[in-house]
Structure 1
Amino acid sequence: MKTLMQIKTHQLKLQLRYKQLIEQAYNLRQTDHALSDISEYKAIKLLNKLNRLKYLSRDSTRQRLT
């Protein structure tokens, strides 16, 4: 149970960081294309991590139900 809570907490932190990076990429789009691309790349990598954590938390939930 504690591990599931840790995963959820980590997920929330990553989601917040993802939103910040996407917003930063959007704001930089008009002024600095390179920095915008870098922020977007970092956001995509974070989204990949979020998807993996989502998969882990889904497996934990299934194991508790069975």
Structure 2
Amino acid sequence: MENLSELKKTQIKLQSRYKQLIEQAYNLRESDSAQSDISEFKAIKLLNKLNRLKYIFRETPKKNLL
């Protein structure tokens, strides 16, 4: 169960970072397109990790999450 709670904390942290990177990419779009692309690329990599975590949570029995 401890592993699941740690994974959930990691998922929340990654979601927060993802939102920051997407916002940064959007804000930099007009002034520095290269930096915007870098932020967007990092956000996409984080989204991939988030999707893998969602898959793990989907596969775990619901009774273990309580």
Q: State if a TM-score over 0.5 links the two structures.
A: yes
- Per-residue deviation at 1:18? 0.1
Could you tell me how far apart the structure 2 residues matched to 1:28 and 1:61 are?
42
Whichever residue aligns with residue 52 of structure 2, its letter is R
Matched residue, 1:9: 9
Identity of aligned residues (%): 66
TM-score (norm 2): 0.90
- Per-residue deviation at 1:61? 2.7
Aligned-residue RMSD, C-alpha: 1.4
TM-score (norm 1): 0.90
The count of aligned residue pairs is: 64
Structure 1 unaligned blocks of 5 or more: none
Matched residue, 1:44: 44
